[in-house]
Amino acid sequence: MLTNCKKQHEAPKEKYCGIEVTGFEIMDLKTIANKGYTYTDEDKALAGDMMRAVEEIPNNSYKAKFSFFMKDENTIGMYIIGPDDQAAVEKISCLLLQEDFDGRLPENRKLLFYTDDHANLVAAIKSKTE
């Protein structure tokens, strides 16, 4: 067990089919995101397929937008812009962490959920595989 400033670090909490991202990880991810990301045509198609999959969730009454901030063969990081609704976040998170979209999503996924106005971080979840 790691300690810092005489405080013990808590074990990662499972949530929304993944593991909660720590505050320090969120800061690191935002630093990466600030560098910008250049989409390939394949990325654009994947984002469109992900939006359609969210729209097809049973009893879905919400929309979500995706913005990648990093992607390589092992890891993808993305902003998900949607409602401040924990049930919706759970459904979207579980979909994105469990579905690989025909092998196009890397195994390690980092999801930062924000409200429509980009003002509030609703959830920060990563895959359990890390």
- List the domain boundaries for the chain: 15-126
| DSSP 8-state assignment for residue 1 | -
Q: How far is CA 81 from CA 1, 3, 35, 66, 72, in A?
A: 35, 35, 19, 6, 22
- For the whole model, what pTM was predicted? 0.85
For range 83-99, the mean pLDDT: 91
Residue 61 has pLDDT above 90, yes or no: no
Instruction: State the average pLDDT over residues 46-75.
Output: 89
Number of Cβ within 10 Å of residue 48's Cβ equals 11
Please provide the average confidence, as pLDDT, over all residues in the chain.
88
